[in-house]
Amino acid sequence: MLKPGMFISDRYEIIDSVGSGGMADVYKAKDHRLNRFVAIKVLKPEYSSDKSFVNKFRGEAQSAAGLSHPNIVNVYDVGDDGGLYYIVMELVEGITLKRFIERKGKLDVKEAVGIAIQIAQGLEAAHDNNIIHRDIKPQNIIISRDGKVKVTDFGIAKASNSNTITSNAMGSVHYLSPEQARGGYSDEKSDIYSLGVTLYEMLSGKVPFVGDNNVSVALLHIQGEAAPLRELEEDIPLSVDKIVQKCMQKKPERRYHSASELIVDLKKSLTNPDGDFVQIPAFVTDDSPTINISDDLNKIKNGSYYNNDSDYLSAYSNNNYNNNHNNSEIIDDDEDEDEELDTVDTKMEKIFSVLTIVAIVVLFIAILFVVVRFIFPKGSKKPQGNQTATVSPSLEPTEEPTPSIEAEPTVETYQFPSVIGHKFEDAKAAILAKDPDAVIIPQEEYSSEYEAGYVVRQYPHPNTDFPVGSEVTLYVSVGPENFALPSVYNMSKAEAEQKLRENGLVPKIESMHSNDVEEGKVIRTEPAKDSLVKEGDTITVYVSLGPEIVLKPVPNLIGKTLRDAESLLREAGLRVGRVNKESSENYASGQIIYQDTTAGELVEQGTKINITVSTGPKAKPTQPPKKKYIGTLIIDDINPLEHKELAEAEVILEMEQGGYSTEIYNKRTSASDFPIIVPNIEGESASVGIVKMYIDGEVFRLNEGDQAYEWYVEFETVEE
């Protein structure tokens, strides 16, 4: 095993292990040359010294390297580093279709058809390049986080123009086409059969054929008939059921002839689910007959065709990778095989038939012996009368029958119980009561349906025959998963309720007045946005009733400065309105000489009070030379738009000086325009100018309820 931090070929840094199979391990790595993350498939050390294994491993890269399609995992590079043989592939973050089916039990029809279309599109690209995958199954389909479906693991792919008999080991037996199970010729239609089985499992949650061992499953593919989907699930449309039936026809010529044809019908089924447009051809003469080889039958019997599945990387047997031969070598091999097949004559067939009959007789005697031994165990009293003849001397225990009995051992199984909804300890006890040798592996899983500590899912499924001593996986709830509460601020009541319910939360509506949020919009939530919550939590949503009508007395502003007046009005819950300027012989410059609402009068909270500010006595004819006051404003201590989480807004800067209010900046501004510098501001005097900012008409405050944020401008005196 490679460790994180190790480098391959001074380029690929190992980040983490992804999965492991029979011949190779898969790692997540970083390509430092192209600065991207990749998946690296590394041949296991025990196979690196075997030249044939290395050639087959490289053959996988050659099978897939020429394929570039959105629904196929891309191969980027292949190489070796000091005897370490590797393939560099596209890294797809996601889960296998097998795990996806296990999580959901079965898929929605549209979801399953959509996935099947993407798989078929990947196969279409492979078939167009004369590449047959030969191991299509949910374990070799990855669904990325963005929903893209990708076909991976061309480990036992074969060039379709090689015309070879599939006497080598194939993929998982549950998805094997009949011609592959027989050891016959495989082509594009073999992949279509496997895709049909995969679609069957997506829609029903189970594979069409299940047996005690691989041989029985393979024979069911050859001879058995799968239960129609509509008998298992009534809501499956007629068109989809017939598409699956056509894909899974025993005779290849009765299936879809290409992935392109299959894609057309799958797309039709989405728009016309109940249409009867799928045509399954009547039986015709097989134009690609299966050639039976006795050696192939032996391989089926001893199970050498099949292997176990892995979640991310399939564990292939030694023959699961392409030979690293060119096409001419493959054709030569096929010609040799054809010559050997021609030598098989009827005499050999007769010998094989005789041997088969002998084997059946021996097996019958062995079974009879076991039955007799069970009914009359050793040491018991022999039965009287005619029953004595049943136990003949030839059936007494000897050393000879033993090999015949053990020639085809059976796997001891038990009916697996349903433990979903039970506490983990209770579930464990129930399983061990059935099988004390069971290996129970707990896996944590979030669940809003079951409390923490209870079993959410199980593998195997309830009431299935399961081998004694095998691994059992129990998915144990750790409670609902926490997530950040989504923001519903400023949404309408209906929009907020819908969004919260979509996230599994329970909205509770409360109403309150607000001077800042319009009526019917959400003011805030409790808990606040981005707080950690879990499915089923109740969220209190406060919806605005609009401003609350409150009457406030108007303070006396006459004789006060503009700043004092603003402070008095703010304390009274009122605001400064329009500011006019007038000369006055009685009030100094900057003092208020008029307010449009009489002091003591009750007005609605938030009302604006218009005022007039004195500019001092009128200028006399003999005045000294007029002076000019110039200043510069720099706003670099804070970015108000970022503080308000706004990308851009209408920004107005208003300066107050000596009782006068002057607009010095008004434009559409983005957050990136800060800091803002406003030069050559003309002031009324040498006194400091006070600047306030209005964002989309609202005065800028650091926090709700604070005073308006202010900046200051200092002026220099310039004589005109």
CA dist., res. 293 & res. 184, Å (int): 9
Residue 673 DSSP label = G
Count of alpha carbons within 13 Å of 192, Cβ hemisphere only? Answer: 27
Determine which one of 135, 153, 187, 435 is catalytic.
135
Position 248, amino acid: M
Write b or e for each residue in 364-401: b if 16 or more Cβ atoms lie within 10 A of its Cβ, otherwise e. eebeebeeeeeeeeeeeeeeeeeeeeebeeebeeeeeb
Buried b (16+ CB within 10 A) or exposed e, 594-614: ebebeeeeebeeebebebbbb
- 9 burial class (0-12, 13-18, 19+ CB within 10 angstroms)? middle
Helices 238-247 and 259-271 cross at an angle (nearest 10°) of 170
H or E element at residue 190: helix 188-204
Neighbours of 164 (CB within 10 A): 18
Q: Can 212 be counted among the known catalytic residues?
A: no
- Per the DSSP assignment, residues forming a β-bridge with 102 are none
Dist. CA 709–CA 720, nearest whole Å: 34
Cis previous bond, 467, omega within 30: no
DSSP 290-315: PPP-HHHHHHHHHTTT-----SSS--
Residues with Cβ within 8 Å of residue 269, at least 6 apart in sequence: 113, 237, 239, 240, 243, 275
Query: Alpha-carbon distance 221 to 207, whole Å?
Result: 11
CB 280 within 8 A of CB 244: no
DSSP state of 253: G
Q: Coil, helix or strand for 165?
A: strand
Residue positions counted in the chain? 720
Q: 3-class DSSP state for residue 434?
A: helix
Quote the CA–CA distance of 434 and 415 in Å, as a whole number. Answer: 8
Structure token pair of residue 99: 């795990």
C-alpha closest to that of 57 among 34, 75, 70, 71: 75
**Tokens 């165990």 identify what position?**
377
State the Cα–Cα distance between residues 629 and 684, nearest whole angstrom. Answer: 7
| H or E, element range at 523 | strand 522-526
Block residue for tokens 């690609």: 288
41 in a known ligand binding site: yes
Binding residues, by number, are: 41
* Residues labelled as active-site residues: 135
Binding residues for ATP, by number, are: 41
